């Protein structure tokens, strides 16, 4: 019982900080990008930055248990990025994001991506002040993940089936994974893409542009 109460208290504090993040970024679209390790999050961020450089100003907070390798990869293609090293923790918490905001220049930024730690379990429980949660599921992982990790897909607005260029070579059925995901979350949107070949990237970029414009209009109206 004590453990349960401690967990509830932790999540309540996290939700309080998540609200503070939303209040602090009223006109910045915040996207929490989740997935298993190796699904292609960083490559997707790199390609997104290249394609949208003349349309949206983006920044990335990158979460990993160790090293700054992913943030370095972002900066190499001109993306404003800051690494959050969790020190072995399997997820990012809202307090980490709130503190990181003091160390990254968000002047003129339209979209702030949070590249979460690769994990389909723990990150699902923590609101990071995002407007949307996007979960990547690579074709190399198998199409049974939504039912095995339901909370992640239940709390996501968009599922991205990544590494679509490998679909002819792996036992992965897009129709099956979409059916399972929508059985859990009927409202989840789906985009199938390949960061390497460019398949589906236009749909992904247009989704982001539309969401950023909506966030901006709401902020102006408020």
pLDDT score for 177: 98
Range of the domain at 178: 2-221
pLDDT tens across 53-62, in order?
999 999 999 9
pLDDT score for 173: 98
pLDDT tens across 160-199, in order?
999 999 999 999 999 999 999 999 999 999 999 999 999 9
Round the average pLDDT of the chain to a whole number and report it: 94
Is 41 within 8 Å of 138 (Cβ atoms)?
no
In the chain, the number of structural domains is: 1
Q: What is the DSSP string of 59-75?
A: EEEEEESS-SHHHHHHH
pLDDT band at 1 (very low <50, low <70, confident <90, very high): very low
Q: How far apart are CA 107 and CA 101, in angstroms?
A: 11
pLDDT band at 65 (very low <50, low <70, confident <90, very high): confident
Q: How far apart are CA 174 and CA 3, in angstroms?
A: 39
What CATH number has the domain bearing residue 67? 3.40.50.300
pLDDT score for 87: 82
> Whole-model pTM?
0.93
pLDDT score for 90: 80
- Residues of the chain with pLDDT > 70: what percent? 96
Residues 6+ apart with CB under 8 A from 61: 81, 82, 84, 97, 100, 104, 112, 113, 114, 115
Structure tokens at 12: 């309540």
Residues 6+ apart with CB under 8 A from 36: 118, 119, 120, 137, 138, 141, 145
pLDDT score for 2: 46
Q: How far apart are CA 8 and CA 52, in angstroms?
A: 40
pLDDT tens across 98-148, in order?
999 999 999 999 999 999 999 999 999 999 999 999 999 999 999 999 999
Structure tokens at 81: 């990025």
Please say if the pLDDT value at position 47 is more than 50.
Answer: yes
């Amino acid at each position: 019982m004590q453990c349960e109460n401690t967990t509830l208290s932790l999540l309540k504090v996290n939700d309080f900080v998540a609200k503070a993040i939303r209040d602090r970024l009223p006109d910045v679209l915040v996207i929490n990008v989740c997935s298993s390790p190796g699904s292609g999050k960083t490559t997707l961020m790199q390609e997104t930055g290249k394609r949208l450089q003349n349309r949206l100003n983006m920044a990335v907070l990158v979460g990993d248990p160790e090293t700054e390798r992913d943030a370095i990869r972002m900066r190499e293609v001109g993306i404003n990025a800051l690494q959050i090293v969790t020190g072995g923790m399997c997820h990012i918490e809202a307090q980490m994001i709130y503190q990181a905001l003091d160390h990254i220049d968000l002047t003129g930024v339209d979209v702030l991506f949070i590249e979460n730690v690769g994990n389909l379990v723990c990150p699902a429980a923590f609101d990071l002040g995002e407007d949307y949660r996007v979960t990547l599921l690579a074709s190399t992982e198998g199409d049974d993940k939504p039912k095995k990790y339901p909370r992640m897909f239940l709390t996501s607005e968009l599922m991205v089936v990544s590494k679509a260029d490998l679909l002819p070579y792996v036992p992965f059925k897009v129709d099956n994974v979409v059916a399972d995901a929508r059985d859990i979350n009927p409202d989840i949107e789906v985009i199938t893409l390949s960061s390497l070949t460019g398949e589906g990237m236009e749909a992904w970029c247009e989704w982001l542009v539309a969401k950023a414009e909506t966030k901006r209009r709401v902020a102006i109206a408020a």
